[in-house]
Amino acid sequence: MSTAHLNYFELFALPAQFGIDMQQLEANYRKIQSASHPDRFINAIASERMAAMQQATLANEAYGTLKNPASRAKYLLELHGIDAVAETNTALPMDFLMQQMEWRENLEDAKQAKDIPALESLFKALRQDAKTLQASLADLFDTQNNYVSATEEARKLIFIDKVCADIQQAIEHLD
């Protein structure tokens, strides 16, 4: 089966929408990984081994993209011809920009103070904001087909993911 032309949703036999069945994603990923496992192709010709390796690589990339809500939103937008992180697509509402600055300041203050509980509290608050954005994205993509608003919400979620990664890194550094 050639998978070169399939998008990530098709690869895993999932509808191209934000709200996906994570168990189905996991199960279909495991099936593909099992079917393309190198042990199955030990005695195969080089082209078959290469095709299996490419299949496994594509499955890994697709799984990583669809498993993460921010990446999934960005990918869905790309399927609709929208680059959520393009230089021309950087406008965010002023209140969110102010919120961003506040999060970054809180992160820096907590890092300077070596205050792990403050970092954990900030992380928890951001994860809650991310959950709210994910619910909004599910509605914007799957119910309203509103890609303009989905782009803005996706960009917020991408930013929150970056700050959360920075918080986790700060906590690990202080631990």
Of 97 and 63, the one with more pLDDT: 63
Q: Is 39 left (phi over 0), alpha (psi -120 to 50) or beta?
A: alpha
Look up residue 89 and give its DSSP letter.
-
Total length of the chain: 175
| Same domain (yes/no): 104, 152 | yes
| Minimum mean pLDDT range among 6-20, 75-89, 135-149 | 75-89
| Residue 42 confidence (pLDDT) | 85
| Same domain (yes/no): 124, 159 | yes
Decide if 31 is inside a domain. yes
| Residue 90 confidence (pLDDT) | 65
| Same domain (yes/no): 60, 101 | no
What is the tens place of the pLDDT at every residue in 107-128?
999 999 999 999 999 999 999 9
Number of domains making up the chain: 2
Q: Residue 29's domain spans which residues?
A: 8-67
What is the tens place of the pLDDT at every residue in 19-34?
999 999 999 999 999 9
Decide if 79 is inside a domain. no
Whether the pLDDT of residue 2 is over 60: the answer is no
Please tell me the distance from the alpha carbon of residue 160 to that of residue 152, in angstroms, as a whole number.
13
CATH of the domain at 61: 1.10.287.110
Decide if 89 is inside a domain. no
| Residue 91 confidence (pLDDT) | 72
CA dihedral of 77, 29, 1, 18, whole degrees rounded to 10: -20
Model-level pTM? Answer: 0.88
Q: Identify whether the C-beta of residue 138 lies closer than 8 Å to the C-beta of residue 19.
A: yes
Please tell me the distance from the alpha carbon of residue 169 to that of residue 76, in angstroms, as a whole number.
28
pLDDT-based confidence at 1, cuts 50/70/90? very low
Whether the pLDDT of residue 4 is over 60: the answer is no
CATH of the domain at 167: 1.20.1280.20
Please tell me the distance from the alpha carbon of residue 119 to that of residue 135, in angstroms, as a whole number.
25
What is the tens place of the pLDDT at every residue in 154-171?
999 999 999 999 999 999
